[in-house]
Amino acid sequence: MNSYKTIFPLVMIVILFTTNIFAATGKSLQNANNDPQDIKSLQSGARNFMNYCSGCHSAEYVRYNVIASDLDLSDAQLQENLMFNAQQPFETINASMPSMDAAGWFGQAPPDLSLMARAKSTDYIYSFLKSFYIDQSSPTGVDNLILAGTSMPNVLWELQGHQVMIGEQGSEHLELSNPGKMSEEEFDIFLRDTVNFLEYISEPIRNARRALGIKVLMFLAFFLILAYLLKKEIWKDVN
């Protein structure tokens, strides 16, 4: 009887763990391997985002001047490289395309990307952007392995080239049929920088918060030693 009581919770834990892992890997996402502490990568990501995404997608929770100070950009760099859709540095990133029109053109308005990395993970976005393939029957000319039937066109085809689907259902995979301007490695870096920027905007305060957290822990450790020494001093005559 007793052994049942110990084994049952253990079995439940194992089941919960394995189903959770399967749920997470259900769509076999690729690893983005991005590093939100890498400022150079974030700078490239910001440029990629403004050039290739902000035409359709907004990022309404982040301001240009915050990006500039977090990413070590001067005012001139900000104006020249990022502020295509805005007049003032304190503005948030609006899509150049009005979302009512976009909904009409694409059937679905492109979602705001401020919190997308937190909602879906950088691995998801990285895999999504890599998984467009030619599908003549689709209105955009492409479909996507990660989000089947998506109304987003393959906006990066010039860089990546065109992919086609090979193989039967269950064993299908994508192959490059026409190379683009970038090699596979260059395109991977382009995507890694882009999703890195999306992770940064989903929590711009993250790096500052971590740095503060370390200082707080160091203070607590120091205070623990102090409190211990004090306790020893106070109780030394009693013990």
- When binding is defined by CB under 6 A, the residue of 55, 89, 141, 161 that contacts ligand HEC is 55
**Contact string 1-40 vs ligand HEC (x = CB under 6 A):** ----------------------------------------
From residue 174 to residue 213, the character string flagging contacts with ligand HEC as x (rule: CB under 6 A) and all else as - is --------------------x-------------------
Of positions 53, 62, 71, 73, contacts ligand HEC by CB under 6 A: 53
- Residue of 157, 159, 162, 154 lying closest to 178 (CA atoms): 162
Question: In the structure encoding, which two tokens stand for residue 122, read together?
Answer: 């950088």
Cα(94)–Cα(17) distance, rounded to whole angstroms? 41
CA distance 94 to 82: 12
Segment interacting with ligand HEC, rule: CB under 6 A, options 2-10, 52-60, 67-75, 172-180: 52-60
Is 45 a binding residue for ligand HEC by CB under 6 A? The answer is no
> Alpha carbon 94 to chain centroid distance?
19
Per-residue mark of binding to ligand HEC, 115-154 (x: CB under 6 A): -x---x----x--xx-----------------x--xxxx-
Distance CA 208, CA 230 (A): 33
**Nearest residue (CB) to ligand HEC, 47 versus 120:** 120
Closest CA relative to residue 58, chosen from 109, 134, 128: 109
Whose CB is nearest to ligand HEC?
53
| CB 129, CB 76: distance < 8 Å | no
Contacts of 56 (CB under 8 A, 6+ apart): 95, 96, 97, 102, 110, 155
Site size toward ligand HEC, by CB under 6 A: 22
Residue 167 neighbours by CB under 8 Å, 6+ apart: 173
Placement of tokens 């763990």 in the chain: 17
Q: Which of 32, 43, 57, 67 binds ligand HEC (CB under 6 A)?
A: 57
C-alpha to C-alpha distance for 35 and 41, rounded to whole angstroms: 8
Question: In the complex, what is the shortest distance from the CB of residue 218 to ligand HEC, in angstroms, rounded to a whole number?
Answer: 38
Positions touching ligand HEC (CB under 6 A) are 52-53, 55-57, 106, 108, 110-111, 116, 120, 125, 128-129, 147, 150-153, 155-156, 194
